[in-house]
Structure 1
């Protein structure tokens, strides 16, 4: 009982979910959970806080009957909801604390090849993740957000500009400065000088 063509785009899945198709939501969640969670973890630097905001984001989507606006893709809209929930969270609980926390390993274990029982490799991967998180924490907030939307959200510059209400050229500059600083910090962990934006 296969249909000749079934639209499985995010927009179609959202419409099907709104019409009562629970499997459509499961597919949307599977497609976007990892990138959204990584984005939130990277932005706030606290996996417990990110998890709370992550859950609030999906609950907002479930409870709402709204749709992406204009030309916005589902993904851009979802990340906007997540970003707004994080800002609400910071306002409610006071601005985020500078907590150093690595990404939640359990949520990302399926994205990494299993190293088996190699403790040295596990330790090296853990240190690499800590170095990356530490370097991300040292980026100015605007640069970190743009980098995470590009790296984990896989959004293009136009989508990031739309989501952050920032001109595309500014987004491009922030991304360039973020990449330069991350390269420098990761190649020389003792580096302390700032890259001017």
Structure 2
């Protein structure tokens, strides 16, 4: 039985009552966006994977219920963000230049692209990773929460504890800079 996304809290309660399938559904619903968000923030595949696993374990071990005013997704991303901040404090904040993202680990591809398409996709991915890495950390975080977390501006504001107008401005500046960087023909020549 598939519940609407806003019923994630129901799935969590069902899981805590012993329904393993409920957790599987929650995990399937949020795993890819959460991992992409974490990887986008830290730029280190191994660290993102570690924090990703720790986030789900923290959720499983947590005895607290999410507040009714907060969507499960916002709560999950807050846990992930906090675990990443903890990891940065523990290991010293470190951001890799450009981490390779292995889609095979986190999603089943629909079709196998040919070699030429794989090369083109790889170049596009490298350009996007470079453009994301070029964003200031605050703008990158807001962009990733919106893009991968599919969070609304008010949810991002609550999660990051920033005013909604600040979130809106950071997202606007991030989008403007990404458009400029990805549309730049010189950037295209660099990736060839």
Q: How does the TM-score come out when normalised to structure 2?
A: 0.90
8 Å contact kept, 1:135–1:182: yes
Q: Which residue of 2 aligns with 1:58?
A: 56
* 2:140 paired with 1:132: no
* 1:13 aligned residue: 11
1:114 equivalent in alignment to 2:111? yes
Distance 2:22 2:46 in 1: 27
Structure 1 residue 64, shift from structure 2 partner: 1.0
Figure out how many residues of one structure are paired with residues of the other and give that number: 185
Alignment of 1:38-53 (within 5 A): 38-53=36-51
Residue 156 (structure 1) aligned with residue 185 (structure 2): no
Q: Find 1:36's aligned residue among 7, 14, 34.
A: 34
SS in 2 for 1:69: coil
Alpha-carbon distance, 1:22 to partner: 1.1
Q: Runs of 5+ in structure 2 lacking a partner? A: 188-192
Q: Aligned to 2:63, what secondary structure does the other structure show?
A: coil
The runs of 5 or more residues in structure 1 that have no matched partner are 192-197
The equivalent residue for 2:86 is 88
State the partner residue of 2:77: 79
Partner of 1:182: 178
Partner Cα distance (1:189, 1:88) in 2: 39
Q: Distance in 2 between matches of 1:121 and 1:73?
A: 38
Structure 1 distance, partners of 2:175, 2:156, is: 16
Could you list the runs of 4 or more consecutive aligned residues of structure 1 that deviate by over 4 angstroms after TM superposition? none
Query: Which digits, 9 at most, give the CA deviation of each residue in 1:43-88, with x for residues without a partner?
Result: 1111111011000000101111112224010000000000000000
Aligned to 1:194: none
The structure that is helix-richer by fraction is 2
In structure 2, the residue matched to 1:195 is: none
Is the contact made by 1:34 and 1:107 (CA closer than 8 Å) also made in structure 2? no
Structure 1 residues 74 and 114, CA, compared in 2 at 3 Å: closer, same or farther? same
Query: What is the RMSD computed on CA atoms of the aligned residues?
Result: 1.8
Q: Deviations over 1:114-134 (max 9, x none)?
A: 244x11110110111111011
User: Contact (CA 8 Å) 2:138, 2:170: kept in 1 or not?
Assistant: yes
User: What's the CA shift for 1:109?
Assistant: 4.7
Q: CA deviation at 1:145?
A: 0.3
**Would the alpha carbon gap of residues 14 and 108 (structure 1) be closer, same or farther in structure 2, given more than 3 Å must change?**
closer
